[in-house]
Amino acid sequence: MEEKKYCYIHKNVETRLKCTACGKSICPKCMVQSPVGYKCKECAQPKLTHLEEISQRQYLLGGLVGVISGIGCTYFWFLFKCSLGVLGYAAAYFIGFFVAKAITLITGHKKGLRIQVLSGMITAICVILNPLHYLYMIPTPEVFLPTCSNVAINFFMNPYSVCALFLAVLGSILEFKK
């Protein structure tokens, strides 16, 4: 005679169903239908791959290093882009590229949508808020915030800048696609 099996959550419910992934006994209340058969609730949850699992510390570190490299790259970009003409705007792609590279290195080559968004946002903010403008400024809110909004407004008035922003963000997210 077969041994009686009980649901691993409802210990008093007899069942013959098993999770197809881990083999635990499950009852009809607990089972979740999936393309490969019935699964327990734990196995039915979509799992992040190792590379998509990112700790808070890695986000923080990645963000910090991203911001530093973003400010550094945009600083030199704003310094030299005029002497390169239209090509200088295209060079914005490399701002994103370097921000993404820095984040990739510090987080241990993590992938996924969330790290992509982080990289893209940092790049966009650095490109829009030209760091050259705050060099000799004492950053009190009364001075800093109006300068930021003026810089941003001027940025969006120039169609080349907007194209550069697009290229920079592209560069900052493509790195995580591979």
- The yes or no reply on residue 19 touching Zn ion (CB under 5 A) is yes
| SS3 call for 23 | coil
Residue 32 binds Zn ion (CB under 5 A): no
Give the nearer residue to Zn ion in terms of CB position, either 39 or 81.
39
Q: Compute the distance between CA of residue 18 and CA of residue 72 in angstroms, rounded to an integer.
A: 56
Query: Could you tell me the smallest distance in angstroms from the CB atom of residue 13 to Zn ion?
Result: 5
Q: Does 7 bind Zn ion (CB under 5 A)?
A: yes
Structural contact between residues 151 and 129, judged by C-beta atoms closer than 8 angstroms: yes
Q: 99, 137 in Cβ contact below 8 A?
A: no
Q: Quick one: 7 or 165, whose CB is closer to Zn ion?
A: 7
Whether 6 contacts 25, CB under 8 Å: yes
43 belongs to the binding site for Zn ion (CB under 5 A): yes
Q: Which is nearer to Zn ion, 40 or 128 (CB)?
A: 40
What is the Cα–Cα distance from 112 to 108, expressed in whole angstroms?
A: 13
45 versus 55: smaller Cβ distance to Zn ion: 45
Q: How far is CA 172 from CA 93, 103, 150, in A?
A: 8, 10, 25
Single residue of 5, 17, 21, 76 touching Zn ion by CB under 5 A:
21
Q: With contacts defined by CB under 5 A, how many residues of the chain interact with Zn ion?
A: 11
Tell me how far, at minimum, the Cβ of 54 lies from Zn ion, in Å: 25
| 55 CB burial (10 A radius; 0-12, 13-18, 19+) | exposed
Q: Interface residues with Zn ion (CB under 5 A)?
A: 7, 9-10, 19, 21-22, 27, 29-30, 40, 43
